[in-house]
């Protein structure tokens, strides 16, 4: 989901892709709790999860999330809801393409906001982010994720209070190549490592247990504040960790910090790979969704229309 380039004051990345994104915070953030001057060491940075978060493994998952910048959460959604969400997403996706063709617009659309629509933007060759609300099944999936341990971990990692900032679907076309490494947003404090302010929950709607998942650089959210320098230090200190693709079984989700290096791997699932995405943030954080105003389906409600980050940008 989300931007191929950081949406706010992000560090330059070595091979970040050329797609653009909007950079916006609507309010200056308040100081974050005890953000320590972390260098490349992977110490925990955030306030501990609230006391009620230690049931059902939430505290342990939150600790892993804070250390690694991502964590897999098992059994978030049942098979039926996944299948219905997948079918709804793929129907909505195809309808977007039909509407482009009917309007005589280029199919596929150009990469980036300029070639995109309020319903769908092509973020990268073969990868799209879609906000078209694909039926009640999509709303049901959102309710399932919001009631899950994945949501509880995200809220705990965000200091115990969070708002849903976005709801969308990332679709990778069959066989599309791996993405460039990127972050979804930059650090808000250039001087020291702060606790997470924004978290994506990814719930794959097809089986990615044998390939096609999302790859992460564990602990790299500690490095992206000053990537070149901190990566070099980590290499010298031999603390740089190898990339990892968490193995997700159907129904599992992966949560990640906006600031961790990640990328979609080659889509080897044999078909399109839709992923349900819920973006949560500290209540004061705003990140404008980088979708243009041009509509394929004027007047139609979109996924996440009710959310604080829903304003489209032109």
Residues contributing to the site for ligand AKG (CB under 6 A): 1-2, 4, 123, 127, 170, 172, 184, 214, 262, 264
Q: Which is nearer to ligand AKG, 148 or 214 (CB)?
A: 214
DSSP string, 132-157: B---HHHHHHHHHHHTSHHHHHHHHH
Instruction: Tell me how far, at minimum, the Cβ of 265 lies from ligand AKG, in Å.
Output: 7
Instruction: Tell me how far, at minimum, the Cβ of 182 lies from ligand AKG, in Å.
Output: 6
d(CA 149, CA 61): 9
**CA 32 from centroid of its chain's CA atoms:** 22
What is the number of the residue whose Cβ is closest to ligand AKG?
264
Instruction: Tell me how far, at minimum, the Cβ of 260 lies from ligand AKG, in Å.
Output: 10
Q: Which is nearer to ligand AKG, 170 or 312 (CB)?
A: 170
Q: Which is nearer to ligand AKG, 134 or 213 (CB)?
A: 213
DSSP string, 44-88: --SPPPPGGGGGGGHHHHHHHHHHHSEEEES--S-HHHHHHHHHH
* Beta strand 198-204 pairing with 214-216: unpaired
The answer for residues whose C-beta is within 8 angstroms of residue 136's C-beta and 6 or more apart is none
Instruction: Tell me how far, at minimum, the Cβ of 51 lies from ligand AKG, in Å.
Output: 33
**CA 197 from centroid of its chain's CA atoms:** 13
Q: Which is nearer to ligand AKG, 221 or 262 (CB)?
A: 262
Instruction: Tell me how far, at minimum, the Cβ of 212 lies from ligand AKG, in Å.
Output: 8
Q: Which is nearer to ligand AKG, 16 or 233 (CB)?
A: 16
């Amino acid at each position: 989901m989300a931007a191929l380039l950081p949406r706010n004051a992000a560090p330059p990345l070595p091979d970040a892709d050329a797609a653009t994104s909007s950079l916006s915070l609507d309010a200056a953030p308040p100081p974050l709790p005890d953000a320590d001057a972390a260098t490349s060491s992977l110490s925990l940075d955030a306030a501990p999860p609230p006391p009620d978060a230690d049931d059902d493994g939430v505290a342990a998952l939150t600790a892993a999330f804070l250390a690694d910048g991502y964590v897999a959460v098992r059994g978030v959604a049942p098979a039926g809801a996944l299948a219905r969400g997948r079918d709804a997403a793929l129907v909505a996706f195809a309808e977007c393409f039909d509407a482009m063709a009917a309007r005589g617009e280029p199919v596929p659309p150009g990469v980036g906001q300029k070639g995109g629509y309020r319903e769908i933007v092509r973020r990268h060759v073969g990868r799209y982010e879609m906000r078209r609300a694909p039926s009640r099944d999509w709303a049901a999936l959102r309710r399932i994720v919001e009631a899950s341990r994945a949501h509880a971990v995200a809220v705990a990692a965000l200091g115990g209070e969070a708002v849903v900032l976005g709801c969308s679907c990332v679709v990778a076309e069959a066989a599309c190549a791996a993405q460039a490494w990127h972050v979804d947003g930059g650090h808000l404090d250039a001087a020291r490592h702060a606790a997470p302010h924004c978290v994506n929950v990814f719930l794959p709607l097809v089986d990615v247990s044998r390939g096609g998942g999302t790859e992460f650089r564990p602990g790299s959210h500690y490095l992206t504040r000053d990537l070149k320098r901190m990566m070099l230090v980590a290499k010298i200190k031999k603390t740089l960790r190898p990339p990892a693709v968490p193995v997700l079984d159907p129904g599992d989700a992966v949560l990640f910090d906006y600031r961790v290096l990640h990328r979609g791997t080659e889509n080897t699932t044999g078909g399109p790979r839709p992923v349900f995405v819920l973006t949560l943030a500290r209540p004061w954080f705003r990140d404008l969704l980088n979708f243009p105003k041009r509509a394929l389906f004027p007047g139609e409600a979109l996924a996440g229309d009710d959310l604080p980050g829903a304003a489209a940008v032109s």
